[in-house]
Structure 1
């Protein structure tokens, strides 16, 4: 049975998701919500710069709620729990990269009744958080025993992220260190990444742990060309965010992101190292595991500004989860509760 899907928002993740929905044999795109009035009323293909696909975008919440659909892939810039609750109550499953990966008891109490009332399921997934910071560490832990430590960490060139307003005004690049450190980014990231840490703690069965967060910045020592313009000496050109869990004095979980505007002209002189941009997964146990993942980063800054694989991976994890979410019992579903989520064969090679 083909599942009818609505895409909510057409930013980077949304546009990638639409392309993947159109290629997925079990899914059909039937609706699209857009934020701006300038996009409303347009064929979604026009918004993507492709041929028309026969789906007209709308900025009306009422139209989306009234639409017959099985699932909404919800990916605006920032989540609005009231919107998600309304979608659930209207009888639509929701898959999102914006939260509810491993909700607290309070979050579950707020959102799960709406899902149960609608007879549907809410699932948070993605890549970072949503994959590299908990799914992959937990997967590789299954090949070991007596686990003492797991880590998921990203090393990215933020020059490849084609969202200049977000990079400058929300992420704090190009600002003074004081402005960036007092900005909103740590708190915006904390909910998702703390859920990643807690998922690892709970699933692996660690004792009660303390989660600590930290943020560090590096500044430019010479002008750095970037998609937000030139970053001048003394302005923030690299950042690290980390969340670590300790059982007593023992560090047992680490999830972190390292975002650099290239690795030249930085103070401190941070470097990607010989492996370059990458994701790392580490497990300490019997035996240990250390995994470096390439392919989720673009091959160049120019290529990333056109199509960033990290964005595409986030969308793919959401899209591929939809059939499993729609088949689940009503409520909140985490990936720990799901069967293996797999992609589908290219249409040219499919049965």
Structure 2
């Protein structure tokens, strides 16, 4: 069975999702929403850096709401619950990397009603949060007993992230430490990371009384640092650490963390990625304790990352590969705890060869 898909927004994840849909043997792209007028009417394949596919992008929400499609990959920078509600009520399933990973049932009455009205399903996915922070730690925890702590942590060179406005204005790089620490990124990301921590706490039975605490640190440039957002001058923010800890009393039971650096040179304090380099880590403290390191999700150079960022591509793939499972699920909000194992698909030539 072929499932028809609309791509919503064409930033890095959106472009990767268009490419992933084209490669998936069970999916067909039929629509594409774009924010900017200069993309309106352009072929979605060309926007994604590939050959034309005969699907014209549009800025019209109403046009896509009226379109017959099985699923929407909803990937704007920030979510709009009214848009998601409308998509669900129109009968379209939604997979998204920008929320609803493990939502609070007390706050989802509108979404639940839209799912019932449209006989549709909503699934939050992604990578970090949205995979590394909850799906994969829970999978790895099956190798342990008597678990006392779960850690999921990212170590990334943020220079490879091709979103200069986000890096400067949302993440706070290139500004003062005071501006960065007071900026929106901790709150914007915190919704997802806190939901991830709650899922792990819930599923492992680590304690119903857990509270989640946020910590931030910054490092500044000790000398001028060249970056895709311009030169980071001495004293300006050139690295950030954010941590979300679920605690029982004073004891951390789940930790989700990011370490974003503008390289490893000329930082004060002198932060580094450590001997493991750029990576994602999952650590389960129990009997036995288990440490898993994900590599390959970072590019080999800044230039390579700006043209093809594996972490962004993986985020898109994780969403796209969930589509058939979400389309087959019963209506409602479905988390990783509700869906079967989600797998990728073989290359199209391989799938044909083995039939």
Question: Shorter-normalised TM-score: what interval?
Answer: over 0.9
Check the 8 A contact 2:18/2:45 in 1, yes or no.
Answer: no
| Pairs within 5 Å for 1:87-126 | 87-126=87-126
Tell me which residue corresponds to 1:277.
278
Give unmatched runs, 5+ long, in structure 1. none
Moved over 4 A (4+): none
Alpha-carbon offset, residue 49 of structure 1: 3.3
| Pairs within 5 Å for 1:1-351 | 1-207=1-207, 208-350=209-351, 351=354
Equivalent position SS for 2:62: helix
- TM-score normalised by structure 2 residue count: 0.98
- TM-score normalised by structure 1 residue count: 0.99
Give unmatched runs, 5+ long, in structure 2. none
Alpha-carbon offset, residue 247 of structure 1: 1.1
Alpha-carbon offset, residue 77 of structure 1: 1.0
Equivalent position SS for 2:337: helix
Equivalent position SS for 1:173: coil
Equivalent position SS for 2:259: strand
User: Separation in 2 of the partners of 1:254 and 1:320?
Assistant: 27
Check the 8 A contact 2:73/2:319 in 1, yes or no.
Answer: yes
Q: Which sits farther off after the overlay, 263-272 or 39-48? A: 39-48
User: Separation in 1 of the partners of 2:109 and 2:269?
Assistant: 44
User: Residues 153-190 of structure 1: CA distance to partner in whole angstroms, max 9, x if unpaired?
Assistant: 00000000011111001110000001111111111111
Equivalent position SS for 1:38: helix
User: Separation in 2 of the partners of 1:342 and 1:50?
Assistant: 25
Check the 8 A contact 2:16/2:48 in 1, yes or no.
Answer: no
User: Separation in 2 of the partners of 1:107 and 1:345?
Assistant: 38
Alpha-carbon offset, residue 18 of structure 1: 0.4
Equivalent position SS for 1:72: strand
User: Separation in 1 of the partners of 2:273 and 2:78?
Assistant: 29
User: Separation in 2 of the partners of 1:220 and 1:231?
Assistant: 7
Equivalent position SS for 1:216: strand
* Aligned residues: CA RMSD: 0.8
Alpha-carbon offset, residue 116 of structure 1: 1.2
User: Residues 51-101 of structure 1: CA distance to partner in whole angstroms, max 9, x if unpaired?
Assistant: 210111111011100101000000011110000000000000000000000
Alpha-carbon offset, residue 45 of structure 1: 2.1
Alpha-carbon offset, residue 250 of structure 1: 1.7
User: Separation in 1 of the partners of 2:142 and 2:50?
Assistant: 43
